[in-house]
Amino acid sequence: MRAQTSSEEHADALDDRGAEVALATLDDPDALRTASEGVATVALTLPQGYLSDAVRRFGHNAIDAAEAAVDLLVSNTSTRIPDEETDVAAFEDKRALERYLDDSDVPFVSLRPTLYMENFALPQGAQGLVEDDVVAYPTPPELQASWISADDLAGFAAETLARPDWAGRHIDVGGPEVLDGAAIADRFGGALGRPIEYQQVPIDAFDAQLTGMMGPEAGAMISEMYRRSEAHLGSGLFETDAAELRRSFPDVELTPLKAWVEQQDWQQLAGTAQATENA
């Protein structure tokens, strides 16, 4: 297995796990072509937090590098994509990259996940859970979503890499349960053995947090995705038919939210937030 990264620190960790490491940035077409040489399949996940021109350029570079080299490229959009076009860059950038794939000569499958469970494990969220018994997220409690773990997404990608006959498909993937805010709180409470409350993080406050981490343009781009989701609660965009997924991916054992919560070290995650505040 060959793994591409732009970070020498990550390269060392990947090397320790037995991967052949290719140091290359997504902004370097020549390095990406070299990284793709002799590779039969590619799993592509673009980084978050970049503006539209960078996201599209990165995607085009990776797709172009794979065009003459691979038998199948599996792309992870890291989000669902609404059927209708929107004014939300986070959705439309991924739609544009899917169209670029459609028009390319690269055999591909595009996986469209829902919301990642790992978003709950960000330090500030973990701190609120540990200190206040609150699980908070910038989606309204009425929103129905099939939350997915990153490990399950990796499982979907791994199975898809072995299915070149699926080339050309766009596949919605998600977790085993469709949950609203009350159900999320119930799963956290069951895992932690105490009552937990779900609270929506106000979008403006979420925007401010992202701005502090990523800058105002990137923060606004991501928060706009949540603003639109709040305005389209009944769209079903983040819901998944788990039974259909199990038929298509029989070897992926879907992770329920309660089981995922039990696997996390919440005290350690909350301590990361405290350490940042004290720095």
Give Cβ neighbours of residue 122 (< 8 Å, ≥ 6 apart).
none
Could you tell me if residue 203 is inside a domain?
yes
**CA 141 – CA 31 distance, rounded (Å):** 45
pTM of this structure = 0.91
274's tokens: 């405290």
Write the pLDDT tens digit of every residue in 26-52.
Answer: 999 998 988 888 889 999 998 877 788
Integer Cα distance of 54 and 51 in angstroms: 6
Q: What is d(CA 125, CA 131) in angstroms, rounded to the nearest whole number?
A: 10
| Residue 111 included in any domain | yes
Write the CATH number for 60.
3.40.50.720
Number of separate domains in the chain: 1
Position 229 in a domain: yes
Please tell me the distance from the alpha carbon of residue 113 to that of residue 3, in angstroms, as a whole number.
22
Identify the CA nearest to 253 among candidates 158, 116, 150, 152.
152
Tens digit of each residue's pLDDT, the chain (279 residues): 788 888 888 878 888 888 888 888 899 999 898 888 888 999 999 887 778 899 999 999 999 999 877 899 999 999 999 999 999 999 999 999 999 999 999 999 999 999 999 999 988 899 999 999 999 999 999 999 999 999 999 999 999 999 999 999 999 999 999 999 999 999 999 999 999 999 999 989 888 888 887 788 878 888 899 999 999 999 999 999 999 999 999 999 999 999 999 999 999 999 876 554 544
Spatial distance between the Cα atoms of 116 and 279, rounded to a whole number of angstroms: 28
What is the residue-wise DSSP string for 219-237? HHHHHHHHHHHHHTGGG-T
Q: Which two structure tokens, joined as six digits, stand for 79?
A: 């989000």
- For residue 140, give both structure tokens: 């309204």
User: What's the domain range around 194?
Assistant: 38-273
pLDDT of res. 273: 60
| 43-68 residues labelled b (16+ CB within 10 A) or e (exposed) | bbbbeeebeeebbbebbbbbbbbbee
In the numeric block, which tokens belong to residue 114? 């829902």
Residue 99 lies in a domain: yes
Q: Which helix (H) or strand (E) holds 9?
A: helix 8-16
Q: Is residue 215 part of a domain?
A: yes
Closest CA to 163 of 43, 78, 79, 2: 43
Is residue 211, in this structure, part of any structural domain at all? yes
Domain contains 4: no
Stretch (H or E) spanning 20: strand 20-23
pLDDT at 278: 46
Q: Return d(Cα 63, Cα 73) in angstroms, integer.
A: 8
Q: Flag whether 27 is in a domain.
A: no
